[in-house]
Structure 1
Amino acid sequence: MDINDITIREARQEDLDHIAGIYNSLWCNWIRASGALDDWALCGRLNAAMQLQRSPITLVAERNGGVVATCLVGIFDHGAPRTNPEWQPAYETLLAQATERAKTADDDLEGSLFGDSREKATADRFAASGNEYAQGQINLIVMRPEWQGLGLGRRLLDEARARMRDEGCSRFFLMSDNHSDYQFYDHIGMKRIAEDHSQDTGDGFIVYIYGGEC
């Protein structure tokens, strides 16, 4: 596989299920393994749409007509996140479905449906604090496992940086956690600028906030 065969473009509506599939392959396999395929699909689609509607810059990496990775980028205006109206209807529809499903869901499913939304509340508090890095945010960067380690993540981040510079950003941040592959951001030289422990429910969960230059 060669990343030179990759085309990077803006996301389209028909990409939602592809992005949701990548998201699910990384974080929601336990739902599929339980046999709850409708819940599995809803979880991926809701979280993908939530990230898309918070991202004025929506990049996908495409090869041979298939989406293999995505990088979704938020912009903050005076501490407030800019939204993407193109993705708002899909998000609102999926949010209503997930809210209804949560009425009868157990804690694990409810956490998978809405955990990313709670993390965004942490991001919004960080941005509202006036931190110098709170100009842009990498909301989501994910790729199919077979494309990891080939330089595609760095290529997507380079393109995201260029797009953020076009929006007037000089710095940006992103969020990871101690249950994810946060070492990648250490490896590419980003600076860990803050930690958040507010989502720790006794399992030692820590959100890491990294800062970078555009």
Structure 2
Amino acid sequence: MSLNTVCLRPMRRADIDALVDLLRRTWYADSEPQVQTMVARADLEFCLARTTTAIVAEYRGRAVGVALGHINRKTGGRFPVNRHHKAACKAMLRLMRTTEGRRGAHELMALGVEGELMSATARRQGHTYDAEVILLILDRMMQGSGVGARLFDGMEQAFRQAGAQRYFLYTNTGCNVGFYDHRGLTRRIERTVPGKDGSATTYYLYDSVL
């Protein structure tokens, strides 16, 4: 595969279903198909609800990766409620109808809680940020091709153009954590949370200066 056949472009509304399927196959493939899709949709919509910059990698007419970012508004204040908030809440309500769906909803809420806890720790340590990489995900067939680096470069460029100086991101052991180490980001916060099955997940907050 040539990198020239993969183009980066702004995300379109028509990409959402392909990106939901990408999240489903990457992170939520161990439950019932209907639940997989609904959890992935809720996850993506929650991410989009606070996104100000979205870059898609397209291959043969299909979205095969995306970088979502948030750049703080100079006026401050909370991000306004939008259609993505509503779509995420609708998906969560549907998940609450079944036992497995409730389990998926709980996992999503736990991810949010871990992020808030790490952000609170960072604030106590005196760290402030102008921007966040909300999501970076790439189809497995594209991994190792350099497309992920191109998406990340594109997001950093968008941050610079907006005047951001420091940004952060959340990740965990279910993701390619080594990518951020290789990029030279600082692993600022680390939290290990034991699971009910005896396993454990480690959550990280990485940051960097532009």
CA contact (8 A) 1:23 1:44 kept: yes
Alignment correspondent of 1:93? 87
User: How many pairs align?
Assistant: 207
Tell me the amino acid that sits aligned with residue 187 of structure 1.
H
1:42: how far off?
0.8
Return the match for 1:204 from 200, 205, 209: 200
Alignment correspondent of 2:173? 178
CA RMSD of aligned residues (A): 2.8
- Cα distance in 2, alignment partners of residues 76 and 121 from structure 1: 16
**Closer/same/farther in 2, CA of residues 55 and 134 from structure 1, 3 Å limit:** same
1:119: how far off?
4.1
**Closer/same/farther in 2, CA of residues 211 and 2 from structure 1, 3 Å limit:** same
Task: Give CA deviations for 1:77-110 in whole Å, capped at 9, x if unaligned.
Answer: 48x686487xx31431331331343254246423
Alignment correspondent of 2:146? 151
- Cα distance in 2, alignment partners of residues 155 and 84 from structure 1: 30
Return the match for 2:105 from 110, 116, 119: 110
CA contact (8 A) 1:76 1:135 kept: yes
**Closer/same/farther in 2, CA of residues 190 and 22 from structure 1, 3 Å limit:** same
Structure 2 alignment gaps of length 5 or more: none
Q: Calculate the TM-score normalised by the size of structure 1.
A: 0.83
Alignment correspondent of 2:158? 163
CA contact (8 A) 1:55 1:73 kept: yes
**Secondary structure class of the residue paired with 2:164:** coil
Comparing 128-137 with 154-163, greater Cα deviation is found at 128-137
Alignment correspondent of 1:74? 70
Percent of counterpart pairs with the same letter? 21
1:211: how far off?
1.3
Alignment correspondent of 2:120? 125
**Closer/same/farther in 2, CA of residues 27 and 37 from structure 1, 3 Å limit:** same
Q: Calculate the TM-score normalised by the size of structure 2.
A: 0.84
1:158: how far off?
0.9
- Cα distance in 1, alignment partners of residues 132 and 187 from structure 2: 14
Structure 1 alignment gaps of length 5 or more: none
**Closer/same/farther in 2, CA of residues 119 and 58 from structure 1, 3 Å limit:** farther
- Cα distance in 1, alignment partners of residues 73 and 123 from structure 2: 10
- Cα distance in 1, alignment partners of residues 172 and 77 from structure 2: 21
CA contact (8 A) 1:55 1:82 kept: no
- Cα distance in 1, alignment partners of residues 125 and 160 from structure 2: 19
CA contact (8 A) 1:54 1:81 kept: no
